[in-house]
Amino acid sequence: MNTGQLLRGATAFIAVLSLVSSTAKAKVDVSPKDYQVAESLQKVFESVAEKVKPAVVNISTVSEVRVSHPPIPPEFRDFFHEFGIPFPQFPNKFKTRALGSGFIVKVKDGWAYILTNNHVVANAKKIRVKLSDGSVYKAKVVGKDPKTDVALIKIKVGNKKVPVVELGDSNNIKVGEFVIAVGNPYGLNWTVTHGIVSAKGRHGLGLNPIEDFIQTDAAINPGNSGGPLCDIHGKVIGINSAIVREAQGLGFAVPINIAKKVMNDLLKYGKVIRGWLGVYIEDVSPDLAQKFNVKGGVLVTKVMPGSPAEKGGLKSGDIIVKYNGEDVKNVADLQLKVINTPPGRRVPVTIIRDGKTMVLNVKIGQMPGTENLATVDLMSKFGLSVQKLTPELRKRLGIPNWVKNGVIVTSVKPGSPAEDAGLREGDIIVEAGITPRSLKPVRKVDDLIKVIKQSGSSGVLLKVVRGEGVFYVVLKPEE
């Protein structure tokens, strides 16, 4: 290095030192008003945390996972036998434990009702709920809805006063609003994080069959699932549901308005009721819009035979641009509008057909296979499945003519309460009650479910027909 290079290096170093020195001496003027603004925002977050945290719960579950082992070649078994070594037995099931969050939304008749995610409790054999005061309770599933990833569970609190969250209106939130998430990430109980609403109406993520997510950058991690996403007033606007593991700062919450409908349906009907139109649809791309000479809407690609859409006059090739007077933005938007319409209601559907605008009056039906998830859950606890006794089943199974009504047992799980009670596949349950005097005819599955719900831990008395014989059993829930 020559003298010139040394001088240039020294000059540059002195310049950097001068810049650092001037920067260090720079003064930022902060007025008392600036501090007041920051303190006011801080107090808002503190207020929300104090208001919401007591109603947030920690949910721990125990699930049973079954595994299938490949067949063992005979030569391996012979090897162990030859040397007198017992052949190892591989377990075909094992237990897993998981953590999640939830929040108390209602207290009635000594029961506290808790909203959470379906995936938190979906396959759980045991569910325990820990409240903010440290008390722990066994929880029961009221109902589950995999389509929206929402579940409702309950705990028996008796006369104990427990805090309840206030539910907001997710339809009124704006992108950019502050939000606060509360939950138990990685088992770190009652963690509070904050961020903003990054986007609304996110769909097509492949997380749920029905998607209308709120996207947020509030920190959400495993264990947050089922916890509340709140606005700055402490009202719950969503249920924290999912994260994108490959990215930072991307969290998704189920809008509380969707969860409220699921909750209300489960409490009122024991299942989720959804409207049904009966069409296959796709978004109108710019190319399709040009070909069909439209500006938006969704394209009907197929109409299901016998569906409300067919009865209402919809045809393949129609462009649905309005539903019940509201513009149709895309496929997800129309799906949400339809499923939230009570079955039986007539709705004006505006379409464009061959360049002409038409309004059809369509009577919305009920979605086929609408999940009677509370029923499925109740029946699974006893280890049996049943279905209504139809004329076809009566003829195929040779059911005696004197058996007029009932539900037929279609399967019994080994080791279940149903098997312990002596029930078998093919049995006909004709009457059910809590006591002999309260026995009533079972004409459909809901009749049986109604009695099971009322029976509690005492079990339900069943009158059963098997072949030409009749007997009684007491079906008790698993301890």
User: Which residues form the catalytic set?
Assistant: 119, 149, 225
Asked whether residue 81 is marked as a ligand-binding residue, the answer is no
Say if residues 436 and 447 touch (Cβ distance below 8 Å): no
* CB count in 10 Å sphere of residue 202: 18
Say if residues 251 and 243 touch (Cβ distance below 8 Å): yes
d(CA 7, CA 13): 10
Q: Which of 391, 427, 422 is nearest to 408 (CA)?
A: 427
Q: What are the distances in angstroms from CA 292 to CA 320, 335, 342?
A: 12, 22, 31
Asked whether residue 203 is marked as a ligand-binding residue, the answer is no
Asked whether residue 149 is marked as a ligand-binding residue, the answer is yes
Asked whether residue 31 is marked as a ligand-binding residue, the answer is no
Structure tokens at 116: 């959470």
Say if residues 299 and 282 touch (Cβ distance below 8 Å): yes
Say if residues 277 and 261 touch (Cβ distance below 8 Å): no
Asked whether residue 225 is marked as a ligand-binding residue, the answer is yes
Binding residues for substrate, by number, are 119, 149, 223-225
Binding residues, by number, are 119, 149, 223-225
